[in-house]
Chain A
Amino acid sequence: MSSNSRIATRPLVLAGVVVQLAAFAVSLELGEPTAYAVFAVLSAGALALGTLPGLFVPPLAFVLLLALGGSGFLYAGAGGALLLALALIATDRPPRKGVVGLAAAVAIGALLYVSWGFLADFGLVGYALALVGFVALAGALAAVAGAGGFDTVFALVGACILLALGLPILMIVGRQDPGLVLEKAANPEVQRSFYLTIFAPLLATLFTLSLGVPLAYLLARGFPGRPLVESLVDLPLVVPHSVAGLAVLFAFGRNAAFPNMDVYPTLLGMVLAMAFVSAPFAVNAAREGFEATDDHLAWAARSLGANRWETFKRVEAPLAVRGVLTGGVLAWARCVSEFGAVAVVAYNVDVFYPPAGSDVTAQHAPVYIFRTFTSQGLDDSGAVAALLLVLVAVIFVVVRTVAYDDGGWP
């Protein structure tokens, strides 16, 4: 079932992405990002109601929102009315019910129109209350119209968190001057920084995975004192990042362990700092991968004469590979984003750069972006940040597509 439906849905997913990006671009151009925010949530509700409303109603909704323009009251009112209209389109109940629903929609739209303005005076709490009311009413209406209240509510709530995550990122990328972004992309300093930003986290990830997988396996199989060790693995998560950097310096400093290890300011130090902050992600995800494998398979392999090494290599590891891979991706991403620890241990590092054929001095992208901000200002640093976001997004999509069996797609 999944392979057939995947073929059918992939163009839809792509179309959805294109529509969302286009809507964002248009609303940004018109100076109405709020309209996009409401639109994005509405589209999720529409998609939850089925292919037909999901495809055709969002563009109409968008035009309507833009036509209303400007006010949160209107967005809320229009949103409520539109969701009900969607529910009616999606239902196959008799039209009489639709008429009742339409009347309810108008009433609810008016209610939201008034209450939003009232609640917005309470700032965040007001918006949160308005949102809860909005989602609850939309779900109730969809249920009344017989079009899946559960799906609608979950899709709306899910879309809200997506929006909270996605909108800031879209805004960073969206507000950049394309000319400046291209100029930065052509800047060798930026290219070297990005090379280091991909390469050093990769080394750190390989390091944490190669040492972390055995630990993850042991944790998954259990041993006395396991909760203690698990807590220890999680501990770096709460260590402030600047402190993490110092910890690495002091751990390998004078009168400490391995005092001759050249960590400051070198690629080695950078990788160690990254490993320190990212290891919990790698170990935990890999552990979950091993926990999800069925012990009986390992027992079967043992009973058929395989020793522990063979069992691990041919049964347990292949089954857990997805968890390990997820851990690797998470750890890599964590390393890419690390600023504090890297800035303390390895503000500037020398790294072999293949295009130059020699060692060059480069900075980790978060450090480079900070430095660009202090020396050249927000526009320049924003352009580099936008480039980094796009680059990493592309890498994520490629990794998901190539590395996971099902392509990582729906």
Chain B
Amino acid sequence: MTEQRTRRGFLATTGAAAAVGLAGCASLTGSGDGGGGDSITIFHAGSLGAPWEEAEAKFEDEYDIEVDREPAGSVDSTRKVTEEPHKAADVLGTSDFRLIRNMVVPDYGKWYGIFATNAMTIAYTSDSKYAEEFGPDTWYDVLARDDVSVAHSDPAADPNGYRSVMTMKLGAIELDGEKLYDQSQAQTLIDNAKVGASAESSLIQQLQSGKLDYAWEYQSAGASRDVQTVDLQPEVDLSKATQKYADHYANATVTAGGNEYTGAPIAYGITVPNTGENQDGGAKWIEYMATDPGKQVMKDNGFQPVSPLVVPKSHEDAVPDNVMTRATAKESLGPLDL
């Protein structure tokens, strides 16, 4: 009897607590803006996760704006804005500015900026097979071996995926009369690599579980995570935003998911989509990323900040004033048409 009463009492108390909690929420349909204060929502590439997590705390202190971040593959992040139901984002940051240029502008945003560059690399751990002989001059030999488990992200879903394939192809394309390896070696490398995840950030976990020996990543991954990376040759790592290298990179094309991607230097894009509910707050985030503390965070995490921020001349008028004071309008960034 007592026991039953206790149990009933427990259930009643729990139920009442739940009801009070539910009522306290005021509305189940509220858009989670974190209790009344100013807040912004950011969709961004997985590779921006580490620096932007660091920047988030500093930004929140300085501007008193709460930041909600949603990391995903760059293509996925972009499509969340451009496809129904057009989710609200106040900032969109992608690992390839062309995604914003081609998919977001002009319908879902009026301008964009280029704020950082990155380089391709291969991440591994000291437990990876052949880790002791892995280096800048041996990577294309080790990754071609049958007993090595190597993966990149899905070229159809993530720029890092198609860039990995480009890098492998570029090694077999001559620059100044030299190349790293021949065509058949490039094909072996591509065939030996598995598609391991939708975004390259997931590959790190697989790497650390020991089920994967090598993962194609951005240079920034090595700086912000507990893995080792290799310095790849500039003719394959897509890091140089000069005319000569850009022309070379453009020789590699990858077809994935019905789209064709042409090789280009890795330039990160940023914008305030017009689906945002706090677009002023979004512009403040971009402004912050163009200031010294923001740039330092990017640098600490293995990126090269583009300073000042570059915005396309043709969309200059649409850039918010606070961002424009820290940006320069150009027709092109090195070889890249804006």
Q: Chain A residues in contact with chain B, CB under 8 A? A: 123-125, 246, 249-250, 252-256, 259, 263-265, 343-344, 347-348, 367, 370-378
Q: Check if B35 is an interface residue, CB within 8 A of chain A.
A: no
- How many A-B pairs have beta carbons closer than 8 Å: the answer is 88
Query: Is B102's CB within 8 Å of the partner chain A?
Result: no
Chain B residue nearest in CB terms to A372: B257
A372→B257 CA distance, assembly (Å): 7
- Report the Cα distance A372→B75, complex, angstroms: 11
Check if B79 sits within 8 Å of A370, measured CB to CB.
no
A124 to B29, CA, bound (A): 7
If A249-B206, A376-B258 are given as contacts, then 7 extra A-B residue pairs at C-beta distance below 8 Å, sorted by A number, are A124-B27, A252-B211, A264-B206, A265-B194, A344-B206, A371-B157, A374-B79
B interface residue numbers (CB < 8 A to A): 27-29, 73, 75-76, 79, 83-84, 127, 149, 151, 154, 156-158, 194-198, 202, 205-206, 209-212, 256-259
**A194 CA to B197 CA, complexed, in Å:** 19
| A347 contacts B210, C-beta separation under 8 Å | no
Which residue on chain A has the smallest CB distance to residue B205?
Answer: A246
- CB B21 to nearest CB in A, in angstroms, measures 15
Contact among A123, A125, A249, A347 with B198 in the assembled complex (CB-CB below 8 Å): A347
A264 touches B212 (CB 8 A): yes
- Known A347-B195, A370-B198; contact A254-B205, beta-carbon cutoff 8 A: no
Chain B residues closer than 8 Å to A254, beta-carbon distance: 127, 209-211
Decide: B257 and A376 in contact? CB cutoff 8 A.
yes
Check if A347 sits within 8 Å of B154, measured CB to CB.
yes
Would you give the shortest CB distance from A88 to chain B, in whole angstroms?
Answer: 37
The CA-CA distance from A375 to B83 in the complex, in Å, is 12
- Beta-carbon contact of A375 and B205 below 8 Å: no
Q: Pick from B83, B127, B151, B212 the residue with the most CB of A within 10 Å.
A: B83
Q: How far is the CA of A370 from the CA of B156 in the complex (A)?
A: 10
- Give Cα distance in the complex from A255 to B208, angstroms: 11
Using A246-B205, A344-B206, A347-B154 as known contacts, say yes or no to A377 and B27 having CB atoms under 8 A apart: no
Closest residue on chain B to residue A378 by CB atoms: B83
CB-CB under 8 A from B210, the residues of chain A are 253-256, 259
For A263, what are the chain B residues with a Cβ–Cβ distance below 8 Å? 211
What are 24 inter-chain pairs, A to B, with CB distance below 8 A? A123-B27, A124-B28, A249-B206, A249-B209, A253-B209, A254-B210, A264-B149, A264-B211, A265-B151, A265-B196, A343-B198, A347-B196, A348-B154, A370-B157, A371-B198, A373-B76, A373-B79, A373-B83, A374-B75, A374-B79, A374-B198, A375-B157, A375-B257, A377-B83
Chain A residues within 8 Å of B158, by CB: 374
A18 to B129, CA, bound (A): 61
Q: Given that A246-B205, A371-B257, A374-B257 are known contacts, is A344 also in contact with B197, CB under 8 Å in the complex?
A: yes
Q: Which of A252, A344, A374 meets B202, CB within 8 Å? A: A344
Given A371-B157, A378-B83, A343:B197 Cβ within 8 A: yes
A-side contacts of B29, CB under 8 Å: 123-124
Considering residues A343, A367, A374, which has the most beta carbons from chain B within 10 angstroms of its beta carbon? A374
CB neighbours (8 Å) of A124 from chain B are 27-29
Chain B residues lying within 8 Å of A125, measured Cβ to Cβ, are 27-28
**Residues in B neighbouring A255, C-beta threshold 8 A:** 210
- In whole angstroms, what is the CA distance A344 to B195 when docked? 11
List, in ascending order, chain A residues with CB within 8 A of B196's CB. Answer: 264-265, 347-348
Instruction: Verify A374–B73 contact, CB threshold 8 A.
Output: yes
Tell me, in angstroms, the Cα distance from A52 to B79 when the chains sit together.
50
- Assess the B156–A374 pair: CB atoms within 8 A: yes
Identify which of B84, B151, B206, B258 contacts A375 (C-beta below 8 A). B258
A89 to B112, CA, bound (A): 65
Q: How far, in angstroms, from A214 to B269 measured CA to CA in the complex? A: 56
Q: How far is the CA of A227 from the CA of B197 in the complex (A)?
A: 38
Instruction: Find chain B residues with CB under 8 A from A376 CB.
Output: 257-258
B209 near A374 (CB under 8 angstroms)?
no
B209 touches A250 (CB 8 A): yes
